[in-house]
Structure 1
Amino acid sequence: MQHIIDRFVKYITIDTQSDPNNPNFPSTEKQWDLANVLFKELKDIGMENVTLDDNCYIMATLPSNVDYKVPTIGFIAHIDTSPDYTGTNVKPQFHPNYNGEDIVLNKEENIVLSPSYFDDLLLYKGQTLITTDGTTLLGADDKAGIAEIVSAMEYLIQHPEIKHGEIRIGFTPDEEVGKGAHMFDVDKFGAEWAYTMDGSQVGELEYENFNAAGATVTINGKIVHPGYAKGKMINSMLIANEFIAALPQNEIPQETTGYEGFFHLHAMNGEVEKTVLEYIIRDHDMELYQGRKAQFQKIANDLNEKLGNNLIEVEINDQYFNMREKIEPVMHIVDIAEEAMKNVGVTPLIKAIRGGTDGSQLSYKGLPCPNIFAGGHNFHGRYEYIAAESLQLATDVIVNIAQLTAKKYK
């Protein structure tokens, strides 16, 4: 297991944070740093047809070692880390035989990872936890997935007695800013189906995700001297308050779970003359999702009618859709993953993603792509962690999926 831990640490100490405000592809030059490392490493372990294209997509092939036709399958992970929190100068800390108590990440800043707040920690008692030092994210999202895929391919190369069909692997940039699948060449990848290794808790197996939209609300006001503002000033920030208050107050991320959708105000910037609200709109059910978008627009329309002058402008853009529609016709690919987990002693936890993955967009591009656990928790922040044992379990699942697929088509 030390080999995969060392590989994971090598990846997380390379800063690959993406940038949502840069239209370039990839959005940050530093993503190339890990891409170039992976390009060489895949060649070194014996992968074939290793490519790194102009958009920072890495693909490689493990040829079939059976003499009958097996569908080509794929495994995919992303190289970037979230722009929500710094990934510069990551210093992982190791906690062997975790005892279920608080972990002091940073004594000087009194940053503590506690099971009283993050109760999932207790799932990993007795295991070796890898955490941050409290000043950066860890990068298990999704460098754990990369480490697991590379390690599984290396294991299959070193153990030719394990029979498998052709396997394609792909590593994408800019997943965290919603562009991970935009330039992905499905035809070039050439797999019949694939799995993203980008889930969290051990056992997660997901083939449903949110339908998602981004929405921008622009409110135009009018500034005049406050001493002479009677009947003249229009304060856009106060209108913004009205807009926010008109949305359902309990349909927000911190009040919802499971299949419940939400409206999430994630950024706002305002002055008297102009306020801009940035929202994301989410729901698993397509009819409810369309209803949420219509509700959002209606609030703006009603306020415009009340206030006059069409002060509020709304722009809503679909981002991705629920991949369930594309996975259900080929549910055998989920069944294979479920069986593989059971074969390595993992209890499958089949649930809907309260978010999205590259797999969602890839499924709509013709590559059905359920999501499998990578093992990390508390993504996108200083409290991120992973159990070393989870890295090995996910690697074992990949190997078993490859083996099972070959058996089923013999």
Structure 2
Amino acid sequence: MQHIIDRFISYVTIDTESDPNSDTTPSTEKQWDLANKLVEELKNIGMQDVTIDENAYVMATLPSNVNYKIPVIGFISHFDTSPDYSGANVKPQIISNYNGEDIVLNKEKNIILSPEYFDDLLLYKGQTLITTDGTTLLGADDKAGITEIVTAMEYLIKNPHIKHGEIRVAFTPDEEIGRGAHKFNVKKFGADWAYTMDGSQVGELEYENFNAAGVTIKIKGKSVHPGYAKGKMVNSLLIANQFLSLLPKREVPQLTEGYQGFFHFYKIKGDIELTEIKGIIRDHDRDKFDAKKELLAQITDDLKENYGDEAITVEVKDQYYNMREKIEPVMHIVEIAEEAMRKVNVDPIIKPIRGGTDGSQLSYMGLPCPNIFAGGHNFHGKYEYVPVESMQKAIDVIVKIAELTASKYMK
């Protein structure tokens, strides 16, 4: 288990935060640091055809060790971390034999990881947890996934008696800003199907995700001296508030779960003359997703009647779609993963992703790609943690998927 811990820590202590405001790939130069490290590590463990392209996409091959034809399968994780919280100077803490009580992440700042608030912690009593020090995120999303893929490949190389077909692995930049699959070369990757190791709780197996769109609202006003403003001033901040008040009150992240979609407006910046609002819309159901976009258009039209056609512009840009329609025709790839979990004593938790992964876009690019747990919790913030035993289970699942795929195509 120490081998897993050491590898994971070597990844998370490299800052790879992505930047949504950058137009380069990768979006931050520092992502190259881990990408290049992974290239060398893949070569050192014995992987073949190790490549890194001009956009920092890393790919490698584990050749088949059987003499019959098996579909080529892949495993994918991303190496960037979310810009929602700092990924610089990560100082992981190791909690051995977790006792089920509060964990003091940072005594000086009184930052506590408590099972009273994060009750999932109680699933891992007696296990080894890796946490933050309360000042950064951890980066288990998705460096736990990278750790699991590399370690599983290393295990298969060292244990050639485990029969498997050709396996391709890939590590991508910029997933956290929605671009992880944008420059992924599916043809070069050459797999029949793949799995992203990017889920959370041990056992998660997901082949449904949100339909997603980004929203930018710009509202123009007119600034006039407030003492002489009657009939003249148009306050864009107040129009922005009016716009948001016309959205469904309960269709927000904090009040939804399961298949329920939402509007989420997360940034507002402005003054009397110009206000800009940034947000997203999400829904698993395509018709409901489209209805949300139509509602934004209707609110815009209604407000334009009061404030003029030039007052409000709304840009809605689709980001990704529910991969379910691409996975259902090849459900055997989900069934193999489910069987693999059961064979290594993991109870599958099959549920929709309330988010997206590289796999959602890759599925529409011709690479069906369900998502498997990586083991971490509380992603994108200072309360992030991962049980080492969950990472070991993910490694076991990867190995078992490879083994099962080979056995199912044995002649």
Range into which the TM-score falls when normalised by the shorter chain = over 0.9
What secondary structure is seen at the aligned counterpart in 2 of 1:144?
helix
Letter in 2 for 1:214: G
Letter in 2 for 1:308: G
Query: Is 1:388 matched with 2:388?
Result: yes
Q: Distance in 2 between matches of 1:54 and 1:314?
A: 35
Q: Distance in 1 between matches of 2:291 and 2:310?
A: 23
Aligned residue in 2 for 1:318: 318
Aligned residue in 2 for 1:340: 340
C-alpha distance after superposition, 1:70-114 (max 9, x if no partner): 000000000100001111111100111111111110000000001
What secondary structure is seen at the aligned counterpart in 2 of 1:376?
coil
Question: Structure 2: any 5+ residue segments left out of the alignment?
Answer: none
What secondary structure is seen at the aligned counterpart in 2 of 1:377?
coil
C-alpha distance after superposition, 1:15-61 (max 9, x if no partner): 00000000111100000000111000000000000001000000000
Letter in 1 for 2:245: A
Aligned residue in 2 for 1:35: 35
Aligned residue in 2 for 1:277: 277
Aligned residue in 1 for 2:83: 83
Aligned residue in 1 for 2:263: 263
Aligned residue in 2 for 1:293: 293
Letter in 2 for 1:287: D
Q: Distance in 1 between matches of 2:364 and 2:94?
A: 40
Matches within 5 A, 1:100-179: 100-179=100-179
Q: Distance in 1 between matches of 2:306 and 2:364?
A: 41
Report the alpha carbon displacement of residue 309 of structure 1 after superposing the two structures with TM. 4.4
Q: Distance in 2 between matches of 1:87 and 1:317?
A: 28
Aligned residue in 2 for 1:192: 192
What secondary structure is seen at the aligned counterpart in 2 of 1:316?
strand
Report the alpha carbon displacement of residue 305 of structure 1 after superposing the two structures with TM. 1.1
Matches within 5 A, 1:345-360: 345-360=345-360
What secondary structure is seen at the aligned counterpart in 2 of 1:341?
helix
C-alpha distance after superposition, 1:337-380 (max 9, x if no partner): 00000011100000000000000000000000000000000000
Q: Distance in 1 between matches of 2:147 and 2:223?
A: 55
C-alpha distance after superposition, 1:135-188 (max 9, x if no partner): 000000000000000000000000000000000000000000110000000000
Q: Distance in 2 between matches of 1:119 and 1:305?
A: 49
Aligned residue in 2 for 1:49: 49
Letter in 1 for 2:100: G
Letter in 1 for 2:261: G
Report the alpha carbon displacement of residue 308 of structure 1 after superposing the two structures with TM. 2.9
70 and 296 in structure 1: CA distance in 2 versus 1, 3 angstrom threshold: same
Name the % identity.
Answer: 72
Of 202-211 and 87-96, the range deviating more from structure 2:
87-96
Matches within 5 A, 1:62-81: 62-81=62-81
Report the alpha carbon displacement of residue 390 of structure 1 after superposing the two structures with TM. 0.8
Q: Distance in 2 between matches of 1:305 and 1:138?
A: 48
Aligned residue in 1 for 2:372: 372
Q: What TM-score comes out, normalization by structure 1 length?
A: 0.99
Letter in 2 for 1:184: F
Report the alpha carbon displacement of residue 306 of structure 1 after superposing the two structures with TM. 2.6
Question: Structure 1: any 5+ residue segments left out of the alignment?
Answer: none
Matches within 5 A, 1:165-244: 165-244=165-244
Q: Distance in 1 between matches of 2:253 and 2:300?
A: 21
Structure 1 vs Structure 2 CA RMSD: 0.6
Aligned residue in 1 for 2:327: 327
What secondary structure is seen at the aligned counterpart in 2 of 1:319?
strand
Report the alpha carbon displacement of residue 307 of structure 1 after superposing the two structures with TM. 2.8
Aligned residue in 1 for 2:8: 8
Poorly superposed stretches of 4+, deviation over 4 Å: none
What secondary structure is seen at the aligned counterpart in 2 of 1:272?
coil
Q: Distance in 2 between matches of 1:296 and 1:347?
A: 41
Report the alpha carbon displacement of residue 297 of structure 1 after superposing the two structures with TM. 1.0
C-alpha distance after superposition, 1:265-305 (max 9, x if no partner): 01110100000111100000000000000011111111111
Q: Distance in 1 between matches of 2:19 and 2:202?
A: 29
Q: Distance in 2 between matches of 1:10 and 1:99?
A: 26
What secondary structure is seen at the aligned counterpart in 2 of 1:137?
coil
What secondary structure is seen at the aligned counterpart in 2 of 1:266?
strand
Q: How many residues align?
A: 410
Aligned residue in 1 for 2:18: 18
Q: Distance in 2 between matches of 1:220 and 1:161?
A: 68
Aligned residue in 2 for 1:99: 99
Report the alpha carbon displacement of residue 5 of structure 1 after superposing the two structures with TM. 1.1
Q: Distance in 2 between matches of 1:266 and 1:229?
A: 31
Q: Distance in 2 between matches of 1:316 and 1:90?
A: 35
Q: Distance in 2 between matches of 1:352 and 1:397?
A: 20
What secondary structure is seen at the aligned counterpart in 2 of 1:198?
strand
